[in-house]
Amino acid sequence: MKAVKVKENIYWVGVKDWNLTEFHGYATPHGSTYNSYLINDEKIALIDGVKHYLSLEQIDRIKDVVDLSKIDYLVVNHVEQDHSGNIPELIKLAPQITIVTNSAGKMALEAHFDTEGWNFQIIKTGDSLKLGKHSLTFVTTPLLHWPDSMMSYCPEEKILFSNDGFGQHYCTNTIWAGEANFGMVCEEAKSYYANILFPYGMQAQKALSTANELNLDIEMIAPSHGCIWNGKEEVSWIVSHYAKWAAAENNGSAVVVYDTMWGATAKLADTITSVFQDAGVPVVKRCLSNKHISEVMADILEAKYVAIGTPTLNNEIFPRVAAFVTYLKGLAPKNKKGFAFGSYGWRPGVVNKIQAVMEELKWETIAPFEEKYTPKSDVLEKLKEHAKTILE
């Protein structure tokens, strides 16, 4: 695949990681891309590197447009290695390049690589880099999701090069969201927010308000993963959803997530699910033996109610549920109503550990519910009555 023209003299020179199934613990069933863009003007700027093992592919694509020796700038929007892994190789082949990044970006590059002899130009929010007919204005977005994260805006073409923000782990034949399966692009954008940016809602809100303060008129968002949002309608879809997610708005739905050893916790999960169904609350039931924790996080993003169930194994939370709860705690969803439930054999109490995490997340909760061995019909009736109180 050759370099793809994005606008006159702006090209996609990224790479496609078709077979990626996992991204630091996040399941990526549709692969991913590491997008990089080249602005070919009086001064030539490359925006972002790629993962080290796809370096040659990016370099070949750049060579479709310009010789590496002609590149003046490499804009480093973010130093996580899916965007910086091949920078040492790029600099080796093109030592004339000046790296344009913020001070946290320079520090992160120095902490990852031997940067001796590298040229740096340090920028801050509002600074511009003139390339000729095009320019880039920078907006630092600290902790969205690393201290070094930033975005670059080209006012002449109204393009925001947003790095991880607005991205999707989605690999398809086109670079355009409008030419891809748009529903899938949106689902993967939601999953990306839930699994990468969930803890940083405040920073996302700040980035959106900085973009407003700087009067950025955005007609295209070119992220570093997945497809490009092109045109006001697509841009407005993703920006309005980010605003909702960052504000921790919910859509009134419920998620019942659990695992089971001998079917007891599954019976409890069935009963709780039916309570939501009977009340007209949209609900999904997810058993962690066949749903990856990152898929469940995408369900939780817009949910109002989250019920988490576990069997007791060796006086502990069942391992797949424990992994989920640890993941949940780190991603720290806000404004949920929680319900911990489970089953035990001879020692009760493990559900209290899930309850404690919900309290730490400052969720509103109802009392946990647990049952010894297999729940009988009278216990399920009792559970039903108790579960209904979460709707009050």
Instruction: Tell me which residues in 15-44 interact with ligand FEO (CB under 6 A).
Output: none
Taking CB under 6 A as the binding criterion, the range among 52-60, 79-87, 304-312, 365-373 that sits at the site for ligand FEO is 79-87
In the block, which residue shows the tokens 């009760």? 348
Among the options 30, 83, 225, 241, which is catalytic? 225
Q: How do strand 22-23 and strand 26-27 relate by DSSP bridges?
A: antiparallel
Q: Among residues 164 and 371, whose Cβ is nearest to ligand FEO?
A: 164
**Phi and psi at residue 234, to the nearest 5°:** -70, -40
Least distance in angstroms from the C-beta of 36 to ligand FEO: 12
Q: Is 145 a catalytic residue?
A: yes
Using alpha carbons only, give the angle 49, 54, 56 rounded to the nearest 5 degrees: 90
Complete edge-to-edge strand list for the sheet that includes strand 44-47: 4-7, 10-12, 37-40, 44-47, 73-75, 98-101, 119-122
Among the listed residues 17, 48, 72, 82, the single catalytic one is 82
Angle between helices 293-301 and 319-331 (to 10 degrees): 40
Can you point out the beta strands (E) in 192-249? 220-223, 229-230
Nearest residue to ligand FEO on Cβ basis: 80
> At its nearest, how many Å lie between ligand FEO and the CB of residue 243?
21
Cβ neighbours around 279 below 10 Å, total: 13
Q: Is 78 in the site for ligand FEO (CB under 6 A)?
A: yes
- Based on the residue annotation, tell me whether 83 is a catalytic residue of this protein: no
From the list 34, 37, 192, 258, the catalytic residue is 192
* From candidates 17, 48, 82, 295, binder to ligand FEO by CB under 6 A: 82
Residue with smaller CB distance to ligand FEO, 194 or 283 = 194
User: What is the pairing mode between strands 22-23 and 15-17?
Assistant: unpaired
317 close to 325: Cβ distance less than 8 angstroms: yes
Residue placing its CB nearer to ligand FEO in the complex, 137 or 224: 224
Among 148, 164, 188, 299, binds ligand FEO (CB under 6 A): 164
Catalytic residue list contains 72 = no
Q: Decide if 345 contacts 373 (C-beta within 8 A).
A: yes
Kindly state the smallest distance separating residue 179's Cβ from ligand FEO, in Å. Answer: 22
The residues carrying an active-site annotation are 24, 78, 80, 82, 145, 164, 192, 225
Site residues (CB under 6 A) for ligand FEO?
78, 80, 82-83, 145, 164, 224-225
